Every structure is written in C-alpha cells, then in structure tokens.
Amino acid sequence: GAVVSQHPSWVICKSGTSVKIECRSLDFQATTMFWYRQFPKQSLMLMATSNEGSKATYEQGVEKDKFLINHASLTLSTLTVTSAHPEDSSFYICSAGPSGANVLTFGAGSRLTVL
Amino acid sequence: DAKTTQPPSMDCAEGRAANLPCNHSTISGNEYVYWYRQIHSQGPQYIIHGLKNNETNEMASLIITEDRKSSTLILPHATLRDTAVYYCIVRAPGGFQKLVFGTGTRLLVSP
C-alpha cells in the first residue's frame, strides 16, 4: 500500500527560529500533497495543498509567508515554519495519494514545540 | 465540500459491534463517503470508502443508505485498540481532491 513518511516525528525549537518538516511518498509519486495542523483535542485543519512544480494553495487564514511550502519533486514536500513562536506549537500532518487513486494516506505526523 | 454530522462520542463494549452513524445530506452525486480514524497522537488511518453500494474490508463494513444522505460504519467485533476518533468525510474522487475533516466521533471501547 501507499506509504507516506514524515520527518522529524518531533522537534523542539527556540522562539524565532525556523523549522523544516519533510513529507515523503515512499512507494509512489505524488503531484499533490496536503498539509494539516492539529491542536490538542481538536480536529485536523487543512493548511494548504502542495503542488509539484508550482506554488502551494493555502486555505483561508493561513499565512503563506509564515508557512512556506516547497514541492520540488514528485516524492517530497516540505513545510517550513518561519520565525516560529509558541503559538505555532502543534501537530503537523501531511497526506498524499498516488495519481488517480481515490485514497489519501497520512504520515505519522510531526509534533512541533516552540519554547 | 459537503459537510457531515457525527455524534461527538460513543461507547462500545469489547467484542460487540460498534455502529458509527454519519449524516451527509448535501452529498453530491460524484462524492464518495470516506472513513478514517485517528488514534491518539498518530496520523489518521484510512478505514474504508464507498460511493453508493455497501462495502466491506478486513477492518469494517460501510452501509450507505439508498438516498446516500447517511451512512454507518460498522466495526463487527470492537477491541480496545479500536478506541479512536472516527471521521466521516465526503470527497470527490481524484488524488488532488482534499479531505476536509469535521469533528468526528470519539469511540471508547471498554472491557
């Protein structure tokens, strides 16, 4: 089955620094990947759609200059949280599916803690 | 995207069937019904999906009403490891189509 891997699984950083989270499709190519954020006891909130070779599409209310998304290859999308602050502490999850497939697979998530 | 309505929580005894309902009265003709679950601090796990016919796999069964306005996910013999938040989502087909999560149903399976 389709496998999506995220790295790192958890990261702690100081306020003001930037953090990069990777999302990889291990056994398929993905022209589209999705990034979500989840706060404690809340549902997943879609942040953006990552498109290979073009700009990401951000959901309303998500700052594109704050959350930089790069989808440079068919198997890798990265989310960079720039100038992170404690309120950016959250669980970040990506998903993707093979082209033409009806099922999206999720990564295990990356927990970011900003001190 | 069509919205879904699910009860916030349900309880089930271990070994019994868990029946999780979902209302999606505004579903469009080409939209599928998907079920995912999320165990604490993990990424969502795909369970099953269907268009209009009932579906069954090794994890669960999906029953969709004839008018497609509601569905039920059935876990035939719930175990403690099935304790999770279950999300019912309607979505058009295609890898570029996003999944929009609602609040889901928190299922607690007890001994």
Query: Chain B: nearest CA to A90, how far in angstroms?
Result: 11
Q: What pLDDT score does B95 carry?
A: 65
Residues within 8 A of B (CB atoms), A 83-102 only: 91, 93, 95-102
**Peptide bond preceding A98: is omega within 30 degrees of 0, i.e. cis?**
no
Q: What pLDDT score does B11 carry?
A: 97
Q: Is the pLDDT of residue B58 over 90?
A: yes
Q: How far apart are CA A33 and CA A36, in angstroms?
A: 10
The alpha-helical segments, DSSP class H, found in B5-89 are none
Q: How confident is the model at residue B41 (pLDDT cuts 50, 70, 90)?
A: confident
Low-confidence ranges of chain A (pLDDT < 50): none
**Other Cβ atoms closer than 10 A to A10:** 11
Please answer whether residues B6 and B105 qualify as being in contact, where contact means their C-beta atoms are separated by less than 8 angstroms.
Answer: yes
Mean confidence (pLDDT) of chain B: 94
Q: What pLDDT score does B89 carry?
A: 95
Task: Work out whether strand B9-13 and strand A110-114 pair parallel, antiparallel, or are unpaired.
Answer: unpaired
* Residues contacting A41, CB < 8 A, separation 6+: none
Q: In this structure, which amino acid lies at residue B104?
A: G
Write out chain A residues lying below 8 Å of B45, CB-based. Answer: 106
